[in-house]
Structure 1
Amino acid sequence: MRISTLRIVRSAVAIAVLAGPMSAARADGTPSSWNWQLVSAGFSPDGGNVNSSLPSLFAASTSDVYLTGCYRCLFRWNGTTFSSQTQPAGANRYTVSGAPGSAIYSAGQQGYQSGNLLQFNGTTWTNVLTTGGELFNTYVAPDGGVFVVGDGTFYRNTGIGFNSVNTGLSTAFNTDRLLAVTGFSSNDVFMGGYNGRILRYDGTSITSMNTGVNAAFVAMDGTSASNLFAVGNNGIVMFFNGTTWTQLPSLGNVGLFGVKALGPNDVLVSGENGLLARWNGVSWTTINLGTTNRLGAISTPDAGKTLFIAEATYTDVRFRLGSAVFAPTTVPEPATTVLVALGLAGVMVVRARRRGVGSV
């Protein structure tokens, strides 16, 4: 006797088997580590030993990096090769910095006990500020405002040229130096320097902040005005939560020269003897780069996925490039249901996602 296909389906016994949740390894969030490589400029700058300098760099992108931190050295890396940058008159170049989509700036020394600020427009370096004291660092705000610190001095340019803002500090040579500057807008700028001093600028005036330490702050960085870090000599790292400055556990009797905040409770600091350490909100973890050279500024163009760390030997300034490694995160996917239909003529197996079962 023949039985139609329709009758087989209608007489089938359906058994639903709920399979366990499937999972997949997904890479997201903050990098868990980085794969490192050394990139050397291969040059011997004038002035002999550069290991006493603070190596500095700025990564405008993963293939456009600017490097300095020694006598008249200013180099650009295009992802493959270095090119020496033609500069106006000047001497020591201390730092190079910028912001996404902005001009790039290099603060330094014009001559003995005088300073200058160079601006790069993509083609040419131009001297845009000459001062009686040396200049050490620059911050570019999201709205394009440019702020520069020096020997007790603070200069701003919010579109009408540079002008000086009174800091209340001595502007004598090497007395009340401001070495670090960062911020979150043109109306919220922080600067740090000698004698544990941190100042805050609100767009109109400057106020002094109490840190409770006597360190020389060399670098500052943060993700917001309530997640800000400052590093200096003697392994001192300070954290600002928006209200007060507190000292994190010391990294020992070592000079710290670079800092990069990747997020809340996640910051990298660099310094002497090849030190690179990461803070997770509770403790420090050191990262071995295989060098004992002085490490300086840390820069990332892509929120930590690629890191660039300046390094100084006795003969050149170079950098380490770190490519992100993400710890796999197990992410559960929706469970699947297997429908087994048993009929007189055979077995039919259908796979469907749970949400599709009701429509079968």
Structure 2
Amino acid sequence: MTSPSGRDMSSETSHITRRTILQATGAALAGLSAAGAASARDTPWTVAETPTDRTLYDVAYTDAGAHAVGGAGTLLSRTATGWQRVLDGGPTGNGNALYGADVTDDGKRLWFVGASGAIGEYDVTTGSLRDHSAPMDVTNNFNDVAVTGDAGAANVYVAGDSGKLYYSFENGESETWEYVTPASGSNINAVDFHGDRRGHIVDGNKTVLHTRDGETWTKIGLADANVNFYGVDSDGPDDVHVSGGGGMVFHWDGAEWTPSDTGDADLRDVEVSAGGAGLTVGGGGALYDLTDGTWRQQSTPTGANLKAVTRGPTDIAVGAGGLVVERRT
């Protein structure tokens, strides 16, 4: 692993990611009339049938459609005929739960992480799977993962339950992993990047941190939050959303944090586009839609805990007992 001396701005300008495309889509949607936005918000959420009763902890879109990961190393894929099982047992076959997933910028590789040091790289175009588990012989639980760059040349960032962030700038190859303890050593719950080496994390000590080089981290909040942080959406150095306990969502605009109180449910994940449209999900089937700067509760056909959400042609939230709820957009 080489230590970057700073990010080249011409490279940063040319870095077009899946998130950039999603942000552009969100910006276009934000230009709709208020009536149109209300109509989209009122589209009903429905339960999709899945081939598992294991809790699903994360969901992400790839070039081959949406994929979800969960308990016992489960990997599911959303196909034209519904959700199908792709993998049982995780990357090692040991059945370790998978807690986080992210996709390379070209949409071709799905990375996932989980219990006992599990790390997998799944090629959605060929169906092949590479096992990168236990980097540096670490077998702690991994809570989340962020990847930037294209298939085979990705930067990989793994959030550790021990307070360490593990990273590889060479696609997770052996002997290329390093780690940093960004803050107090409390568990890192979520990680998200808006550029090759620029992103944010949240930890169990109510802390939000930012990096510009993928290695060194600076605290940017959050004083007097009084709730735990569970999810982070990083769209830029001045556009960050954090979801947490007690129904709280916080937005950083580069100068100050703005809190929003949605209710009582712990909010486990948040996804917001640059256009300002977003979703957050949590306990008891809680699901909120962000439109015109206001979070509004959505009616869902479940009271089960929701763990993660993704936006796309179909918005998807996943959770306990193999639950998937969907909304056509």
- TM-score when scaled to structure 1? 0.69
* Structure 1 counterpart of 2:241, from 229, 232, 253: 229
Distance between the aligned counterparts of 2:44 and 2:274, measured in 1?
A: 20
Task: Choose from 244, 247, 253 the match for 1:241.
Answer: 253
Q: Distance in 2 between matches of 1:186 and 1:297?
A: 23
Q: State which of 66, 78, 93 in structure 1 corresponds to 2:98.
A: 93
Please report the TM-score for the alignment, with normalisation by the length of structure 2. 0.75
For 1:133, which of 140, 152, 167 is the aligned residue?
Answer: 140
Query: Whose helix fraction is larger, Structure 1's or Structure 2's?
Result: 2
User: What amino acid is the match of 1:186?
Assistant: D
Higher strand proportion: 1
Structure 1 contact 76–85 (Cα < 8 Å) conserved: no
1:65: Cα distance to partner?
Answer: 2.2
Q: 1:240-276 deviations in whole A, cap 9, x for unaligned? A: 102333322x122211012110334432111111111
Partner of 1:9: none
Q: Are the equivalent residues in 2 in contact too, given 1:194–1:215 (CA < 8 A)?
A: no
The equivalent residue for 1:308 is 316
Distance in 1 separating the partners of 2:45 and 2:237 = 30
1:269-308 matches, cutoff 5 A: 269-301=280-312, 305-308=313-316
Alpha-carbon offset, residue 78 of structure 1: 1.8
From 39, 43, 66, the equivalent of 2:52 is 43
Pick from 175, 180, 184: which aligns with 1:166? 180
Contact 2:276/2:291 (8 A) holds in 1: yes
Deviation at residue 103 of structure 1 after TM alignment: 1.3
Q: Does 1:150 align with 2:160?
A: yes
CA distance in 2 between partners of 1:284 and 1:44 (Å): 30
| Equivalent-residue separation in structure 2 for 1:132 and 1:166 (angstroms) | 16
* Cα pair 1:234 1:253 within 8 Å, conserved: yes
The answer to whether the Cα contact below 8 Å between 1:68 and 1:75 also exists between their aligned partners in 2 is: yes
Match of 1:29 in 2: 29
Shift in alpha-carbon separation, 1:36–1:252, aligned structure 2, 3 A: closer
Number of matched pairs? 274
- Structure 1 runs of 4+ aligned residues shifted over 6 Å read none
**Superposition deviation, residue 234 in structure 1:** 1.5
Bigger drift between 193-202 and 155-164 goes to 155-164
Select the structure with the greater relative contact order (CA < 8 A; seq sep ≥ 6): 1
Deviation at 1:148, TM superposition (A): 1.1
**Structure 1 residue 281: deviation in Å?**
4.9
In the TM superposition, what whole-angstrom CA distance separates every residue of 1:9-49 from its partner, at most 9, and x where no partner exists? xxxxxxxxxxxxxxxxxxx624532343321213234xxxx
Q: For structure 1, list consecutive stretches of 5 or more residues without a partner in the other structure.
A: 1-27, 325-360
* Amino acid in structure 2 at the alignment position of 1:308: I
Highest Rg: 1 or 2?
Answer: 1
Cα–Cα, structure 1 residues 133 and 311, in superposed 2: closer, same or farther, change >3 Å? Answer: closer
> Which residues in structure 2 correspond to 1:1-360 (within 5 Å)?
29-30=29-30, 32-33=40-41, 34-45=43-54, 50=55, 55-61=57-63, 64-81=65-82, 82-86=84-88, 87=90, 88-90=92-94, 91-99=96-104, 100-110=106-116, 115-122=117-124, 123-130=127-134, 131-142=138-149, 144-151=154-161, 152-159=163-170, 161=173, 162-169=176-183, 176-203=186-213, 204-212=215-223, 213-248=225-260, 250-301=261-312, 305-312=313-320, 316-324=321-329
RMSD: 2.3
Offset, 1:89: 3.3
User: Is the partner of 2:264 in helix, strand or coil?
Assistant: coil
Contact 2:46 2:301 in 1 (8 A): no
- Post-superposition offset of 1:239: 0.6
Which one-letter code corresponds to 1:218 in the other structure?
Y
Q: Distance in 2 between matches of 1:264 and 1:225?
A: 16
Kept in 2: contact 1:195–1:215 (CA 8 A) = no
Letter in 2 for 1:38: V
